[in-house]
Every structure is written in structure tokens, then in C-alpha cells.
A and B are shown apart, each in its own frame.
Chain A
Amino acid sequence: MSKTPSNGLALELRDVRKSFGKTEIIRGSNLAVKAGERVALIGPNGAGKSTLFNLISGRMAPSSGEIVLHGEAIHGMKPYEINRRGLARSFQVSNLFPRLSVFENIRCAVLWSMGERYAFWRFLSNLNEVNRRAEEVLDMIRMRRKRDTNVTNLTYAEQRAVEVGVTIAGGSNVILLDEPTAGMSKSETANFVKMIRDVTEGKTLLTVEHDMGVVFGLADRIAVLVYGEVIAFDTPENVRNNDRVKEAYLGSVLAENQRAEAQAAEAAGA
């Protein structure tokens, strides 16, 4: 959809800040996501992950700082302007069109990317390219059996699948997934992750995740958000061993206990 700039960065956050009234939620976040990279955004509850997604996707404007997509500044733009520039996001709580079927939901998401605008002189059934792409996405998210079912009649996992489908249908290069596997069982999660990996092949993915198994299996790099700041952005191994991250998740006392225990075990073993 858009050309990757010469620095190879699909998405950049430069000292992004967001305050609600006097409370600063995002306190200077920096992130540089390479094109084609898969990044997991993790962090304790309340760290501001959904807020960050909202800022990137245009649901809110940052109080200060810059958000750059494919080399173009997108902070302050409306959601549809950002989407047209190649960024799509999913929602933590499935945000579908409740009176339309699975296929219709996906087709709506395809329309703009295929050049259809506000046309009222063409029939949907004649838009071969649009329909073909929608069927393709339907197969990608493995929902062919439920093609004409109303989305409110689907199971939770099926709805999450359609949610992902609506997000990727437009062919955006930068995909933001907000807790895609939240609330799923182990087996559902495993299948879902495989599906996500397939549909985001070659695209830049930024996903909020709490399930560490998913994170370590899916992500090239992990960004850790704590109190509105990205305190670490590195490969999974390095993040796992990062002290600041451990402190953020486990608390300094517990982290110290861990260290003390490790030392004691060492001493006992020696």
C-alpha cells in the first residue's frame, strides 16, 4: 500500500505523550518498528497499551510527540485517513457489524481498499475483485462454513477470527492486533496464533498480548510498556532477562526475593 521509507521503519513513535486532564497516561514512548517485523507489546495492566493503540490508529490524538507511518506523520489524523495510508487495527472487544453476516462484514472492510468509494450506481454482486478478495480473506481466517451466518450467532473464538479478518481484509501493511487471543482456551489459542502468523505473512505486526506462550512463539521483538513508557524493546530472550522488566512485572521486593533465593540456591549447591 505505501512505500517503506529508506530507513526501513514501518512505524515510529517519537516521544509520544498523552494526558487526560492532569493525568499523563503515555509518558514519552519511543518505538521503531521495522517493516515486516512482528512485535509484541506487553506490559502490566494499566500500562497504557490500548491507549497507545488508540493513539496510533487515530482514535485519539497524542498530546505531544510524533507518530510516523511509512515515513509520513500520522498523528492527529482521523482514523480513516490513517487506515487509507496502510494501517489497520483490531479491537480487544470484538467490534463488528452486528446485523451483517460474516461475509458482509469482511466485504465492507475490503471496499475502500479496492477503490470503491461512495458508489451507489454499481451492485455489490458485480464487484468481482471485491468479492474475490472477501472470499479469500474468509478462507484465510477459516470461516468458510459460517459465511452467511450473522456475526452475533458465532462463538467467541469465531467472532475474534472475524475481527482479525475485518482488520486484514483491506490489505494494510501495518496490522495492530489488540489482545487477539484474549479469553480463548489453550487449543483455540494455538490454532489462532497459527492463523495470525499465516495472514500477517510479510506484513508488519504489532500485537498486544498477555499470553507469554503466544508472545514468545510469535514475536521477533518484544516491547515492554510500563506506566506509559517503553522500558525495553528487544528480542524475547533479552527481554526475559531484563531486570527492569522483571521488576515491573514482579515488583522490586519479589524480584529481590528471587535474587536472594537464587543466591541461596547457589550457596547451597556450592
Chain B
Amino acid sequence: MSANTYSFRPYNVGRLVLWSLFAIVLLVAPKLFTSSLSMTMLTQMGIAVIVCLSYNMLLGQGGMLSFGHAVYSGLGAFAAIHTLNKVGAGEWGVPVALIPIVGGLAGLLVAVLLGAVSTKKSGNTFAMITLGVGELVWSMSLMLPEFFGGEGGVSSNRVVGTPALGITFGPQIQVYYLIAVYCFVCTVLMFAFTQTPLGRMLNAVRDNPERVEFIGYDTQRVRYFAFMIAGFFAGIAGGLYAVNFEIVTAEVVGAQRSGAYLLFTFLGGSLFFFGPIIGAVLLVLASVLLSELTKAWLLYLGLVFLLMVMYAPGGIASLLMMNVRVAAYGMLRRLWTSYLALAGTALTVLVAVAVIVEMIYHIKLNEALGPQMSFAGVMLDTRGTDAWVGAMLLLATGVGLFEVSRRQFVRHWGQVQGDIEAEIQRREGL
């Protein structure tokens, strides 16, 4: 390019708007949802967003399926809580606001050590190794009560050290805003990562690891560095966890937690950057609200996950973006009746399945409470045949109608996609 050319890069207004919206939501949320339950959930969501985004760095951006990510967030949490105790005892002078960084550094250190071994392999073998390493750390937690606190875990007090600007982190709202700041900063940093050489090469490694080697990059190195960075952010989430709950037990490094990260990140959508944010919100909603609502929540979760993998492997984010694409071409209006039909029949099926599952659970687990069961305000007699027959009939009709509306939807969707393709061709020809 000669010196006479003028290069103009406009500001990406859309991106600025989205980030501002994100910041505003983080700021304003506790004002809108003021109950203490909401506060609990909002703080947990902030933490979950960071850890799910860090997980997607491996899964969605790197194609690395890890079954042991909780090791890094969990060990970060333990490091943070021990540091917090030291601060409380007056031995170390780390400000409470920087404790999550300690967690991050711990997560980074563990990722440097364990990542060297884990990233030696890729694909399925990598997945198995992360499972094994996760089990290793979990089992060690039982053998080293000095660090892991044994059965009761390690507890602490976050109102320690000298408060800066009068912030003691005693009230929950102060902790929320600490988490919100970390959440925003970490999200920005992790997004920025996707625009760096390492981030782009990580994508290349995901798409075609073999070719990467022929353009000069060591695939294993790329994965290892990404693993370290993901471990760092997971550790920060762990540190926030320690500050928030003031107690850390061994289950934070356990396989269930790792599985939850996987499940919800995938559910939210691993193909788009914001997918894990959706997943994190769902994670908290499910573990706090859904678990209270029904004893069968894990079963529902597993079934939803199965259906997602089979029919929408891009997660909720990809479903959203597909519709955004359709809307961008101005054709979303054509689909709303089909969507309505689909939603209505799906709801029917859902209700029918839920009734059956809840009745089974009631019979099995709540025998002492008698055969009467309340479902969304309606009393059902689990021993009588009425409820069962009714639910079966509802299920049968629901499934039948769903199939009909699904076929119609697929037809309409196909038409819309065809029209979009035609429009793309037309625009290219211009």
C-alpha cells in the first residue's frame, strides 16, 4: 500500500452497544431483582459466567472436551480461601478485592502443571485424561485434609483486612458488585483473546489440527497455552466463589461440577462467544430454582441435554442466531405462526411428560405423604387411573400434534432458508 492511500476503520457501533448493554445489565440487575434469593442467584450467575466462558475457551474455541475443569476453579477456590484466612490472621496483607486474582494465579499454576500432561493428547484421549486427572485431584482431597479441610471443608471470613473506600464486603450487595466488576473485565478479556493470534490459531487447531502443523505452529503448544489461560480464568471464578460463600468444600473439584460446566456450556451454545453466558444463567436457575421445584430436575436436565445434542448441537445461542439471521433478511414474520404452533404443542408434551415423571417420583420418594400430589396447583391422585390415563392421552395427542406442527415448521423454515440463499446470490451479483 502506498503512502497515499487512506485507510478508514469505522468504530464497530454494534459491538459498543452490546458491551454497554452488558455493563448496564450487570449494574442495574440488583436494583430490579431485590429479593435475597435474587441476590444469591445474581452473584452465582456472575461467577458462573466467568467459569463457563473459560470452559468454552477449551470446548468451543479449541475443540477440547474436558471432563475435569472443576479442578482449576476448585483449586483456585481453595487457594483463595486459605489466603483469606491468612489475611484474617494478619499474616498476609492481600486486599480482599484482589483475592480472586490469587485464585486465578493458583488456577494458572495448576494448569501449567497438569496441562503439560493433559494436552499431550487430543480428542477422546484428552477427554479421558481430564477425567482421570479430575478423579486424581478429587481423591487427593480426601487424603489431604490439611489443605482440603476434610469433611467440613475450609471456612473463612471475608470481612477482614483494611477496608478501602469504606467497602468491607460484609453486605451481599458489595460482594455482588465485586463479582460484577470481575465478570465484566474477565468477559472483555476473554473476548479480546478471541481476536489475538493465539486465539485464532486455537480456532485453527480446533478446525484442522493437522494443517496447523504444516503452517509452522506446534499444535500441542497452542493447546497448552490456551489450557493455561482457561485455568487462570477458572481460578478467578473459584476465588470469587471463596469470597462469596466463605466456605469451600472438596466437592468444588468434583466430577459433578465438571459435568455441570460441560452440560450448561453446551446447552447455552459452544459455537458463539455469548453462548456460555446463557448457559451460566441456566446453570444457576436450574440448580437454585428448578431443584426446589421438583425432585426430578436432574432427570429433566439429562433429557434436555440429550435432545439438545441430537437436534440442536449448537445450543441455544445457535438457535437464537439462526433466527437473528432470518430476521436480518426480514423474513422472521413468516415464521411466527409456525413457531406458535410448535411452542404450544411442545408445551403440551412437556406438561404431559412432567406429570408422568412427577407422579412416578411421587410414588417412589414421597410414599409417606400419601397418594395425593399437587402439580401446578392441581391435585392428582397417583393411585387412581384417571391421572395416568389423562397424562398418557395428553402425551399421545401432544406428540401427534407436535409432529404435525414440526413438519409444517420444517417446511416453512426450508422455504425461508431457500429465499435467503436466493437473496444472498442476488446481492453477490450486484
A and B touch in the complex (CB under 8 A): yes
Q: How far is the CB of B280 from chain A (nearest CB, A)?
A: 23
Mostly helix, strand, loop or mixed at chain B's interface?
helix
A3 within 8 A of B: no
A260 within 8 A of B: no
Given A96-B208, A97-B208, A118-B222 in contact, is the A111-B197 Cβ separation under 8 Å? Answer: yes
Q: Which of B207, B211, B218 contacts A78 (CB 8 A)?
A: B218
Residue of A nearest to B192 (CB): A123
Question: In the complex the two chains form, is A120's CB within 8 Å of B193's CB?
Answer: yes
Question: In the complex the two chains form, is B197's CB within 8 Å of A122's CB?
Answer: yes
Contacts of A109 in B (CB 8 A): 215
Question: In the complex the two chains form, is B213's CB within 8 Å of A119's CB?
Answer: no
Question: In the complex the two chains form, is B229's CB within 8 Å of A95's CB?
Answer: no
Alpha-carbon distance A88/B225, docked complex (angstroms): 25
Contacts of A78 in B (CB 8 A): 213, 218
Question: In the complex the two chains form, is B216's CB within 8 Å of A121's CB?
Answer: no
Interface size on A, residues (CB 8 A): 38
Contacts of B212 in A (CB 8 A): 80, 108
B386 within 8 A of A: no
Given A100-B203, A120-B229 in contact, is the A80-B216 Cβ separation under 8 Å? Answer: yes
Question: In the complex the two chains form, is A57's CB within 8 Å of B214's CB?
Answer: yes
Contacts of B207 in A (CB 8 A): 97-100
B204 within 8 A of A: yes
Question: In the complex the two chains form, is B196's CB within 8 Å of A120's CB?
Answer: yes
Alpha-carbon distance A118/B197, docked complex (angstroms): 7
Q: How far is the CB of B6 from chain A (nearest CB, A)?
A: 15
Q: How far is the CB of B393 from chain A (nearest CB, A)?
A: 46
B217 within 8 A of A: yes
B199 within 8 A of A: yes
Of A58, A80, A124, A166, chain B has the most CB atoms within 10 Å of the CB of: A80
Contacts of B229 in A (CB 8 A): 120
Q: How far is the CB of A105 from chain B (nearest CB, A)?
A: 8
Question: In the complex the two chains form, is B198's CB within 8 Å of A118's CB?
Answer: yes
Residue of B nearest to A151 (CB): B207
Kindly count the residue-residue contacts between A and B in the assembled complex, taking CB atoms under 8 Å apart: 96
Contacts of A122 in B (CB 8 A): 196-197
Question: In the complex the two chains form, is A79's CB within 8 Å of B214's CB?
Answer: yes
B195 within 8 A of A: yes
A89 within 8 A of B: yes
B356 within 8 A of A: no
B407 within 8 A of A: no
Alpha-carbon distance A120/B193, docked complex (angstroms): 6
Question: In the complex the two chains form, is A124's CB within 8 Å of B200's CB?
Answer: yes
Question: In the complex the two chains form, is B200's CB within 8 Å of A107's CB?
Answer: yes
Q: How far is the CB of B423 from chain A (nearest CB, A)?
A: 15
| Those of A46-60 within 8 Å (CB) of chain B | 57-58
Contacts of B225 in A (CB 8 A): 118, 120
Question: In the complex the two chains form, is B199's CB within 8 Å of A99's CB?
Answer: no
Contacts of B204 in A (CB 8 A): 97, 100, 108
Contacts of B200 in A (CB 8 A): 100, 104, 107-108, 111, 124
Contacts of A132 in B (CB 8 A): 1
A116 within 8 A of B: yes
Residue of A nearest to B207 (CB): A97
Residue of B nearest to A89 (CB): B214
Alpha-carbon distance A127/B193, docked complex (angstroms): 15
Contacts of A95 in B (CB 8 A): 208, 210-211
Q: Top 4 A-B pairs ranked by shortest CB distance?
A: A112-B216, A79-B213, A120-B198, A97-B207
